[in-house]
Amino acid sequence: MLTSLIFLAGCFALLALALWAAFPLPSLDGRRASTALAGQDTRIAAAIAPVAARHPGTSGIYLLPDALDAFAARVEMIRTAERSVDLQYYIWNNDLSGRILLSELVRAADRGVRVRLLIDDNTTAGLDPMLAGANAHPGIEVRLFNPLTLRRVRAANYLFAFPRLNRRMHNKSLTIDGAVTIVGGRNVGDEYFGAEQDGLFIDMDALAIGAVLPDVSAQFDRYWNSRSAYPAELLIAADRAKPMAILRDPPESNSTRGQQYREAIAATAFIRDAMAQTLNWQWTEVRLFSDDPAKALGAEPPESLLINRLKPVIAGAEGSFDLVSGYFVPAGSGTELLTGLARRGVDTLVVTNSFAVTDVPLVHAGYVKKRQPLLEAGVQLFEVRPGAGGRSEDPSHSATRFSGGGESLHAKTFVVDRRLLFVGSFNFDPRSAELNCEMGFLIDSPYLSGLVADGLRERLPEHSYAVALSPEGELQWGDTGGGRRGVLTTEPGTTAGNRTAVWLLSHLPIDWLL
């Protein structure tokens, strides 16, 4: 038996070595470096300049919690651009919203705008024709971050390059003319811009101008010119490209969502109001937190990791700490941080997904074993429940989503002392902390922090289960949704099989992967 296992392990190692040799990363010799284009001579930059001059050293922030607003703002920004559009995303789906945004990029490039599109290659299955087509435009350059070299049998890449491919670029930003940017939690896909939204802070983006813009552009340049960013033409054959005419004018959709997108685009006026100097920016100090792209190669020093620079901010909370994280796996150090806050009297509140709405049950397994110590220390714990018209609470009607959307929480934000607000891509889990590259804004604004904290607490009773311990120390879920007022002693949305599977997964040593 042992001999057979050794033989199989040897065969696997030889196969991995053969694949590694057969499908190496292409050489980056000859790749052109480029940097952000300043936009002082563009209309948007000229409109913003006098407003920014009245608020020297600060940034203007406008929050975008609404999904349709967030989509329409992106379209409006791309349509306004005159010199450059720089985008980096973890996911760009080939669905309605993805095709609309890509068509806007092609049209921007048609009018002479330089477009740089950096996409993490982990989730691009089936997108090679679209990406190659866009890259064929003389005004668009597409780069793939940490790419898979074997394009057609993608899963095989993990047999010979797992340590590298396990690290991804999770950053999300869009910047035009070096003057306006959107940073936050949304990828590009219909599930992130869902027209039907009655959930609880499903996601959050921040529109920004002012002093933080050069930092955002410099951050993009670091990733764009990093050792992990590969020109698309080195990996995707040009003959696979989708025709430019289809990218420029994607087939129209008569779906309800398509109509809602069109109406939202027609009605939105964020950039028009910014150019008219009438948008209600909140001017304050904003710091960009970002991992170095070397993290994707396992080469970022621990002291520069985003999490290690955020920890002192969180640990410094004196009165309250509100955390919203769709993927919440606090592990050892995170649990110690949160329980430490609660034990010294900080009002500590955490909101994450319930099993009934999570799209990643494996992540839920990493979270469940931390509920007891968090609650015992005094952390207030809430789990988002299915919304009206959304997923059924009956476990026999369960469904899954790839990432966010509907009533599944995807936001990554926290508030410290009703003064500091973080909006970005960082999940409170080991993957974001140790493996993936992340970014986000830390916004020093009592006004915006108060809006988020108050809105969160006002909507929690209707949209979430309040998790607590019974007098006997058993978990229970308070349910006040839909006018109900009751207590559940079995985890909502689960079956005995679900609970057994989650319990077994929670005992595996896989937290570092979650």
Active site amino acids: 170, 172, 177, 410, 412, 417
Closest CA to 443 of 180, 179, 210, 176: 210
Helix runs in 359-514, H state only: 361-368, 371-377, 430, 446-463, 496-506
Measure the CA–CA gap between 441 and 310, rounded to whole angstroms: 11
Give the residue carrying structure tokens 């009703």.
418
Measure the CA–CA gap between 193 and 203, rounded to whole angstroms: 9
- Those residues whose C-beta lies under 8 Å from the C-beta of residue 514, and which sit 6 or more positions away, are 327, 329, 362, 363, 366, 429, 430, 431
Give the residue carrying structure tokens 């769709």.
326
Nearest 5°: phi and psi at 336?
-65, -40
Helix runs in 344-445, H state only: 361-368, 371-377, 430
Judge contact between 404 and 367, C-beta under 8 A: no
Angle between helices 67-80 and 256-267 (to 10 degrees): 60
- Those residues whose C-beta lies under 8 Å from the C-beta of residue 238, and which sit 6 or more positions away, are 132, 136
